[in-house]
Structure 1
Amino acid sequence: MDIPADPVQRAFLGVEKSVLDNRWISRLDQAGQNRALAMSQMHGLPDLIARVLAGRGVTVDEAVEFLDPTLRSLMPDPYKLTDCEKAAKRIADAINTRQQVAIFGDYDVDGASSSALMYRFLSHFGVTSEIYIPDRVFEGYGPNPAAMDQLIDNGARLIVTVDCGSTSHEALAAAAKRHVDVVVIDHHQVTHDLPPCHALVNPNREDDLSGQGHLCAAGVVFLVLVATLRLLREAGHPKARSIDLLQWLDIVALATVCDVVPLKGLNRAYVVKGLIAARHQGNAGLSALFRKAGLAGPVTPYHFGFLIGPRINAGGRISDAALGSRLLTLDDTGEAEAIAERLDELNRDRQVMEANMLQEAEAEAYAEYGDGSGASVIVTAHEKWHPGIVGLIAARLKEKFKRPAFAIAFDPNGKGTGSGRSINGFDMGKMVRAAVDEGLLVKGGGHAMAAGLTVERDKLGRLRGFFSERAEKTVAALV
């Protein structure tokens, strides 16, 4: 075959034939080559680094900030997020009037981190608060009316939902009926039909123009706390000057890495500065987990994503979902060590369960889709799977088959709890919401790269067909 004359197709680094008999060519088109050259010349970057940046879509003007991200340059005015000012004023009012606050979080790392951030902030100002994490099996994802009633009965005059709540119409209506305000801080995709709440801070709501839709929930919570602290300082609150939000960036970085949101813009600053905070080991809970995981050397994103995150998640997957959030709020090293030990044990149990479930899921996937090359979406299901681990199975299937994938655990009554993981370029959350609109799901939601759903057994076949048809063209162009 003739070698193209286009200079972009010349052998990269002069490698005409590699050890595996492959010819190396640049992945950059001519525009990308030009962008890399401009970066190298304008900013004095090595050619290979400039090429990597260009391949990631970084522009010439963004290159320096991409390599050295700072909060000062990348953090927006929090008020640019729709309803952020309204949420901050309501939280500040609760602090000034010493109202009891309930924090309703999700059971994953992002939910635990978001809950811990809000709890630590309120505790600094002497506000009594309670963290409520729902049981994954018995309550499912997000607020429910019974939980709202329980929190209000316990004395809550304000409920703040974090990493959930954007689609919880019934639960939030129950709180409104009892004249208790709810502030929702979330990042999951939401339709134009917004729930009844005092404020909904979600950069992925349709009327939000902040451009911060890539943030995880903890990243959004941090911005709300920045806005709240600004109000309290302007009002001269005596404790407002003695708090440093930057000390909690380790928690924000943990959530950002573990929620696998894009590492661009403000997220890069969160992670870079959060890693510095983590290396000071100021959080007793994180430090206990570092020791339990046998951490050697400075904290890196790998440690967050593969050592710490799975242990925090283990509680919500197969045991007490509140363990992770509780751990991140602790200053007592003894209690932190005890919870870290328990989470480590649960993580080992989870690993055994995951291995068995994955073997069954892969067998079903091969039986249903062959090698997966002809599939657009992989959907597996089983009556004996643990619903807390289906997200991990979906992630493994996605990696193996290079397709968006779902794993669904059905209970004896035919109700399935499922989780999905997507590939770059395919919006899974949008597809799941469309299935809800079609009446194929009891409920469902998520964001571009991950989603959760509840489905009845007799609709599984139709759901498979809907997902396959909906994703066919887009996935075919991506793989």
Structure 2
Amino acid sequence: LMDVARLNGPPEAWHLGFMLGPRINAGGRIGRADLGVRLLLESDVSEAARIAAELDRLNSERRIIEQHAEAQAEAEALASLGLEDKGAVIVTASEGWHPGVVGLVASRLKEKFARPAFAIALEPGGIGTGSGRSIPGVDLGKAVRHAVEQGLLIKGGGHAMAAGVTLRKERLAEFRAYLESALAADVAEARHVNEILIDGAISARAATPELVATLNRAGPFGSGNPEPIVALPSHQLVDADEVGQAHLKLRFKSGDGATVNAIAFRSVGQKLGNALVQHRGQVLHVAGTLTVDRYQGVERVQLRVLDVAVPDHGPAMIR
């Protein structure tokens, strides 16, 4: 639904993504997976209102559960990394975490600490179920599959950027040590390089639906066929406004006066978001991927911002 809304145009468009989407997902995350489908299929207004109210309640509950687990996981990660910021992988675990939010927590840890990260919910019987998220250049799924082969996990699998695991509590330390050993070199290289490969440079005026359609002909995109990344050199950041609870809605203007709308997902409070807010009104190099919004029959191009750089500081990116 967030992809449908694209956060472009009037407020009701991005409200669809930020307000309806999370509530439909909330039921599945904390044990009521049928509610979202029932809401979308329900034709009775009063019954739909009842289901919507329940989903809203569940979403509030999910948010509290997630925030509590995230705070605990961040504290554990900081203690593990120490003041010297040492460690290739973050593996956090706790009793009381809801299995439905561990993927979200792992994603937040990965973004905050720029390392592969796992969040594992430990059940009273000593079995843990968790999710992991990785950074470009580090194949997490391969490491998890090898851990299964070595008997460290009951089961596990995934792909390069995400994985799921089930393990016994007593094997947690071994699993953490294995990941440190297996992924240290790849993580060090990935964090050292920390680069975005740009496929081409364009201006705001060139960011047209026709260009996006041409690029999409190279799809479908995924981990084995990444979406093309474009750079907009020396564009002024005209607007930078917070939307939802963690995103920035942006607008960039080129030297000839043309503008392009943009969005920086989950950037508020992060390095990227802070840089954008601090440089509002200034000229930046910006990199991202292009999408097309369709609202009331009108097509508009939107840039999903991945990184920015201050021109006076050379090619190094801010994130």
Conserved? CA contact 1:319–1:346, under 8 Å: no
Conserved? CA contact 1:311–1:346, under 8 Å: yes
1:385 aligns with 2:97: yes
- How many residue pairs were aligned? 191
Query: Partners in 1 of 2:113 and 2:5 — Cα distance?
Result: 33
Query: Partners in 2 of 1:308 and 1:431 — Cα distance?
Result: 36
Conserved? CA contact 1:372–1:401, under 8 Å: no
Task: Please state how far the C-alpha of 1:468 moved relative to its aligned partner.
Answer: 1.3
Q: Which amino acid aligns with 1:299?
A: A
Query: Partners in 1 of 2:84 and 2:35 — Cα distance?
Result: 38
Query: Partners in 1 of 2:103 and 2:51 — Cα distance?
Result: 23
1:375 aligns with 2:63: no
Task: Please state how far the C-alpha of 1:450 moved relative to its aligned partner.
Answer: 2.1
Q: SS where residue 11 of structure 2 aligns?
A: coil
> Structure 1 residues 437, 331: CA separation in 2 closer, same or farther (over 3 Å shift)?
farther
Q: SS where residue 13 of structure 2 aligns?
A: coil
- Aligned pairs for 1:190-269 (under 5 A) are 254=1
1:411 aligns with 2:123: yes
Task: Please state how far the C-alpha of 1:360 moved relative to its aligned partner.
Answer: 1.5
The aligned counterpart of 2:74 is 362
Over residues 206-233 of structure 1, what are the superposed CA-to-partner deviations in whole Å (9 max), with x where a residue is unaligned? xxxxxxxxxxxxxxxxxxxxxxxxxxxx
Task: Please state how far the C-alpha of 1:391 moved relative to its aligned partner.
Answer: 1.5
Query: Partners in 1 of 2:119 and 2:178 — Cα distance?
Result: 16
Conserved? CA contact 1:371–1:401, under 8 Å: no
Over residues 167-195 of structure 1, what are the superposed CA-to-partner deviations in whole Å (9 max), with x where a residue is unaligned? xxxxxxxxxxxxxxxxxxxxxxxxxxxxx
RMSD: 2.7
The aligned counterpart of 2:134 is 422
Q: 4+ residue stretches of structure 1 with deviation over 4 A?
A: none
Task: Please state how far the C-alpha of 1:358 moved relative to its aligned partner.
Answer: 1.8
1:431 aligns with 2:165: no
Task: Please state how far the C-alpha of 1:410 moved relative to its aligned partner.
Answer: 0.7
- Aligned pairs for 1:16-95 (under 5 A) are none
Normalized per residue, the structure richer in strand is: 2
Task: Please state how far the C-alpha of 1:445 moved relative to its aligned partner.
Answer: 2.1
Q: Which amino acid aligns with 1:297?
A: P
Query: Partners in 2 of 1:457 and 1:342 — Cα distance?
Result: 34
Q: Normalising to structure 2: TM-score of the pair?
A: 0.54
1:394 to 83, 106, 110: 106
The aligned counterpart of 1:346 is 58
Task: Please state how far the C-alpha of 1:359 moved relative to its aligned partner.
Answer: 1.9
Over residues 442-471 of structure 1, what are the superposed CA-to-partner deviations in whole Å (9 max), with x where a residue is unaligned? 112233322221110111111101111221
The aligned counterpart of 2:11 is 297
Over residues 370-399 of structure 1, what are the superposed CA-to-partner deviations in whole Å (9 max), with x where a residue is unaligned? 258322110001112222221221122112
Structure 1, gaps ≥5 residues long: 1-253, 258-270, 280-294
Bigger Rg, which one: 1
> Structure 1 residues 364, 312: CA separation in 2 closer, same or farther (over 3 Å shift)?
same
Q: SS where residue 388 of structure 1 aligns?
A: helix
> Structure 1 residues 275, 352: CA separation in 2 closer, same or farther (over 3 Å shift)?
closer
Task: Please state how far the C-alpha of 1:331 moved relative to its aligned partner.
Answer: 4.3
> Structure 1 residues 334, 460: CA separation in 2 closer, same or farther (over 3 Å shift)?
same
1:311 to 11, 18, 23: 23
Among the aligned pairs, what percent are the same residue? 52
Task: Please state how far the C-alpha of 1:431 moved relative to its aligned partner.
Answer: 2.2
Query: Partners in 1 of 2:185 and 2:169 — Cα distance?
Result: 27
* Higher alpha-carbon deviation: 419-428 or 397-406: 419-428
Q: SS where residue 124 of structure 2 aligns?
A: coil
Q: Which amino acid aligns with 2:158?
A: G
The aligned counterpart of 1:117 is none
Q: Which amino acid aligns with 2:109?
A: L
Over residues 46-102 of structure 1, what are the superposed CA-to-partner deviations in whole Å (9 max), with x where a residue is unaligned? xxxxxxxxxxxxxxxxxxxxxxxxxxxxxxxxxxxxxxxxxxxxxxxxxxxxxxxxx
Q: Which amino acid aligns with 2:29?
A: R
Structure 2, gaps ≥5 residues long: 192-319
Q: SS where residue 315 of structure 1 aligns?
A: helix
Normalized per residue, the structure richer in helix is: 1
Conserved? CA contact 2:93–2:122, under 8 Å: yes
Q: SS where residue 389 of structure 1 aligns?
A: helix
Task: Please state how far the C-alpha of 1:333 moved relative to its aligned partner.
Answer: 4.1
